Each structure stands twice: as structure tokens, then as C-alpha cells.
């Protein structure tokens, strides 16, 4: 049996998550100041790895009250009827 490559998630459900952020016009609203400067952190194969990336980015920008990062559950957008369980 061949060894798995790093990042190989074959055999596991792909519950894709997008992590992105940007500077908000107002900290109390989700309206970005400049859509051309959104920070697309990446797409991750599960919530745990997305959360780790989100925490790292949030920590880097903690001094900017207008900067926010989000986790989007892409798997729910791709297949709204799928709850992620096999």
C-alpha cells in the first residue's frame, strides 16, 4: 500500500472551508472598506485546519479593530443538503 502524501485527504469527506479577511468600514458591520484588498488566506480540507489559519491571521491583526477574518463553510454552499456526515 502506498503512503499518503502530506495533505492527502483521500478516504475522508472534503468539508472545504475558505478563510479570508479584510478591513471593515465599521467594526460593527460586515462591509469591507476595499474589496480589491481582501486577504484570501486559503481553502482548507476541514474546519480544524481552517480554524488554525483563522486564529493565526486574527492574531497578526489584533491591533487593527477594523480588520476581520472569516471562515466560510464552502461545503455547505456546494451541497446545501449535505450535513457533512457519510
Output 34 or 85, whichever has higher pLDDT: 34
Does any domain span residue 12?
A: no
- pLDDT recorded at residue 14: 80
Mean pLDDT, residues 49-54: 97
Q: How far apart are the first and last CA of the chain?
A: 24
Tell me whether residue 22 is in a domain. yes
What are the residues whose beta carbons fall under 8 Å from the beta carbon of 5, sequence distance 6 or more?
Answer: none
The mean pLDDT value of the chain amounts to 85
Q: How many residues does the chain have?
A: 86
Q: Report if residue 66 sits inside a domain.
A: yes
pLDDT score recorded for residue 84: 54
How many independent structural domains does the chain possess?
1
The CA distance from 74 to 71, in Å, is 9
The model's confidence at residue 77, banded by pLDDT at 50, 70 and 90, is confident
User: Which cell numbers hold the place of 65?
Assistant: 479593530
Query: Would 33 be classed as within a structural domain?
Result: yes
Confidence of residue 83 (pLDDT cuts 50, 70, 90): low
70 domain residue, yes or no:
yes
Residue with cell 479584510: 22
Q: Which residue has the cell 446545501?
A: 80
Tell me the pLDDT tens digit for each residue of 14-42: 899 999 999 999 988 999 999 999 999 99
Question: Has residue 11 been placed in a domain?
Answer: no
46 within some domain: yes
What gap in Å lies between CA 51 and CA 55, rounded to an integer? Answer: 6
CATH of the domain at 54: 3.30.70.2400
pLDDT at 86: 45
Amino acid at each position: 500500500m502506498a503512503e499518503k502524501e502530506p495533505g492527502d485527504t483521500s478516504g475522508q469527506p472534503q468539508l472545504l472551508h475558505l478563510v479570508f479577511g479584510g478591513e471593515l468600514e465599521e467594526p460593527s458591520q460586515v462591509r469591507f472598506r476595499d474589496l480589491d484588498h481582501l486577504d484570501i488566506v486559503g481553502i482548507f480540507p476541514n474546519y480544524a485546519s481552517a480554524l488554525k489559519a483563522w486564529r493565526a491571521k486574527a492574531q497578526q491583526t489584533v491591533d487593527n479593530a477594523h480588520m476581520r477574518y472569516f471562515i466560510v463553510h464552502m461545503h455547505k454552499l456546494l451541497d446545501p443538503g449535505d450535513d457533512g456526515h457519510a
